[in-house]
Amino acid sequence: MISGIALSLLMGTDASGMLATTDALMPFIGQTGAGLALGLAALGSAIGIGKAGQSAAGAWAKEAKAGKNLNFTYIILLGMPISQTLYAMIVMNNMRAAVSDPATDMASAGMLFGIGLWTGLGEMASAWMQGLIAAAGIRGLSESEGKGFAYLIIAMGIIETVGIFTMVFMLGMIPKVAAG
């Protein structure tokens, strides 16, 4: 209630206006968190895929110029950062029940916002860094004639684990909706 009073004072409303403002604002805050989860993760995936794609394009150009077959394994590496967007979508979909229930959303709007924000940031960082690892790996594979692919998959898997942990831990924080 203190946050509602502070909001009321800032907005210059009376008690009834404060309740109306809080009733409208709290669902928005929780729903914004759900959107942030997916939006930030997608941003990280796009950046990671973009960085890896740039490296792949350069490596393919070098291979084509040398008359070599183009290496398909680069596609595997450059596509890996998209999984973090999927993980964030799973969290967002699980948040949907909480943000759709007025009682849960009113009581947990700040927590829902935080879950969405930190899910998005965790997945964004994981995807972005995975793309940077992929970009470096593609350059390395290109220069070493394909040696070290297994090590790259292991490195990519380690950063992928950060995305999986983010999803699992954040799913565990989503408030349960009372049956009824």
Global pTM reads 0.83
In which band, very low, low, confident or very high, does the pLDDT at 104 lie, cut at 50, 70 and 90? confident
| Among candidate residues 97, 76, 93, 75, the one with its CA nearest the CA of residue 85 | 93
Walk me through the domains of the chain, giving residue ranges and CATH numbers: 28-173 (1.20.120.610)
Of 94, 155, 159, 154, the residue nearest 122 (C-alpha)? 159
Q: For residues 99 and 108, what is the distance between their CA atoms, to the nearest angstrom? A: 9
Residue-wise pLDDT for 5-61, tens only, equals 555 555 555 555 544 556 678 888 888 999 999 999 999 999 999 999 999 999 999
CA atoms lying within 13 Å on the CB side of residue 21? 17
| Per-residue pLDDT, 5 | 52
Handedness of CA 89, 91, 93, 96 (dihedral sign): negative
71 DSSP 8-state letter: P
